[in-house]
Amino acid sequence: IDLNKVESSGPGRKVQKEDVLAYREQQTVQTMPSGKVKASPAARRLARELGVDISLVPGTGPGSLVRESDVVSFNDHSIAASGKAHTGEAEWLKLTPIQKATGERMVLSTSTVPQFSLSISAEMEKLLWVREILMDRVEAGTGRRLSLTTLLIKIVADALRRSSRVNAAYENGLIRLFREVNIGVAIGTDEGLIAPVIKKADLKSVNQINGEIKTFEEKARTMRFDVEDLEGAHFTISNLGMYGIEHFNAIINPPQSSILAVGKILNTPVGTENNSIMLKKLMNITLSVDHRCLDGVQGAQFLALIKQSIEKPEMFITGGENAS
C-alpha cells in the first residue's frame, strides 16, 4: 500500500492502523468486479465457515462493503430468528416446548424413581388370528385399520383392573390405588412425544378404543389436543415394534408407577417338548416399575396376566359387546 495515498486521521497527520485498514477496504470496493458482492476477504472467509450467504448480508463499510463484523451481526440475528445456529461442523437446535417438558420429566423420573424392568416374550399367533377376524368389522365401524396396539390396550386394561397395585402411584410415603383404568398411548409427533389418554379403557370395546386412537392420531397431525386428552393417565404403553425395535426399556412418567414397552414380532426358533425346533411368532414386552409400588414378584405376576391374555385371547371372542 502506498502510504502517500492513505488519508491520515492521527495527530500531526500521522497515518494510523485504522487509516490503512479503511484504505484497504476502499480499494477492495473500487476493484470489485461489477455484479459481485462487495465484501472483504475476511468477511467472505467467515461467511463460508458459518454457512452464511454473503449476498444477504448488509454492508456497513465504504460503498456498502461487507465487513467481518457485518457477517457476525447477520449470523447472530439469524440464530435469534430461527432458533438454530451453524458453527462450522455443528448445529444447535432449539427444543420445542413438548421436548423440553418431556426431557425434564425424564430427568425427574430417572433421578427420583427407583425403577427396574422385567421382560417376557409372548406367542402372537392366536392374537394375530383374532385381529384378522375382527379387522373388517372394526375398520368399518371406526374408519381405522385395527392395530395391534388397540388389542394390547384392551388386554392391558383388563390386567390392570385385576392388578390394583400396578394401577397405582407412590405419593408422600403412601400408595394411591386408582379405581379408573386410564391408559396413556405414546405417539410420536414433529413436536415431540405425547401420550393421549384412553379413559376407563377396561370398560370400552375394541371399536371404541380404536376410534379414540384414530381421533388422537388426527389431532397429533395438527397438535390440537384438548387438555383432558393428555391428563389422568395411570399407566402408559409405548409400542416401537412398527419401527423394527425388538426390545427396549421405557422410562416411567411420574407419578405413574409403570410403563409397558412393546417390541417387534419376530419369527423365532423355539425348542419343543419332543426336542424338535419350530418357528413361532414371538413379541417381547418389557415392564418398567416403580419399586416403591411393586416388587419383582408382583411385576412378574402382572406380566404373566398380559402374556396369558395375548396367548389365549378368548376375551375378544367370548367377551360380548364390550370386547369388540
DSSP characters over 274-300 = TS-EEEEEEEEEEEEEETTT--HHHHH
CA angle, 84 then 88 then 89, to 5°: 90
Which entry of 77, 86, 234, 291 is annotated as an active-site residue?
291
Contact indicator for 140, 285 with CB cutoff of 8 Å: no
Task: Supply φ then ψ for residue 255, to 5 degrees.
Answer: -90, 10
d(CA 258, CA 235): 6
The DSSP call for residue 172 is: T
CB atoms within 10 A of CB 299: 23
| Integer Cα distance of 214 and 44 in angstroms | 52
Length of the chain: 324
Cell of 265: 414380532
87 near 46, Cβ under 8 Å?
A: no
C-alpha 141: how far from its chain's center? 30
Query: Is there a catalytic annotation at residue 86?
Result: no
Catalytic residues: 291
